[in-house]
Amino acid sequence: MRIIDPHVHIWKNDPDFPYAVETVNPPTSDATPEMLLELMQANGVEKTVLVQVIHYRWDNTYTAYALRMYPDKFMGVCRVNPNDPEAPDHLSYWTEQHGFHGVRLSPAPDSSGDWFTGPNMYPIFRRAEELGVPMLILTKPSRLPDLAVLLDRHPELDVVIDHMADCSPDNAADVQRLLDMARYPKVYVKISHTWGISRESYPWRDTHDLVKMVYQAFGGRRIMWATDWPICLDKANYSQTLTVVRDEMNFIGSNDLEWVLGKTALKLWAF
């Protein structure tokens, strides 16, 4: 089956691609496209979606560079400043001039993320809908009702909830908030970060019931695995993020597994 990784990050300590001045404790080691390509080849991953890392904030230049260098391997998701009224035009720029296909917003669950209910959101969502690019949301379950309000206004927009909103398997209310989003037919979920929410070692079996509930609610055609390399490396290696889904979650039917490992991502990112 085709294996497509819909979520990784890249960065490089290089004066040509400086980190944003707001970045606290920037990484000292690199995570380059070339390092990623070696891992992809070793694990049978055909193509990958590069998601703009927060270290660069709204300057998507390094990811754009990687897209130009390896157009047959990568597609990209950009970031725009959600507090900037010109963010919709910035999204158009990165999409139309640099080939990005998607945008990511990361509303925090506390008051610092209240911009997610502010006046800039509808224009950003509307522009993504007009451009036909997916919206990736990195947040916690408490923000999902706010997302629902936006989706009611933009039913044709493809939206991806990253990493199952980092739900705790033990928090029934939070899990239900995530499952409730299945009522929107264009909402997808990445079943990644099992390594981050587990209290166990690989294969993180205490998270499998959560993944199974997400699978049953959304169906195989609306969920995706992902590595989140190199963020995963504190708790999981690249291979484990794949094998935990492919080899350990045997409740996913064989036909659905083809979607989870590749075909769902290809619906959103037509390489």
pLDDT given for residue 83 in this prediction: 98
Domains of the chain, by residue range, sit at 4-268
Average of per-residue pLDDT across 46-73? 98
From residue 124, alpha-carbon distances to 89, 107, 134 in Å are: 9, 14, 12
- Tens of pLDDT, residues 183-241: 999 999 999 999 999 999 999 999 999 999 999 999 999 999 999 999 999 999 999 99
Query: What's residue 4's pLDDT?
Result: 98
Could you give the percent of the chain with pLDDT greater than 90? 100
Domain 4-268 sits in CATH at 3.20.20.140
Q: What's the order of all strands across the beta sheet hosting 4-8?
A: 4-8, 47-51, 74-79, 103-105, 135-137, 159-161, 187-190, 223-224
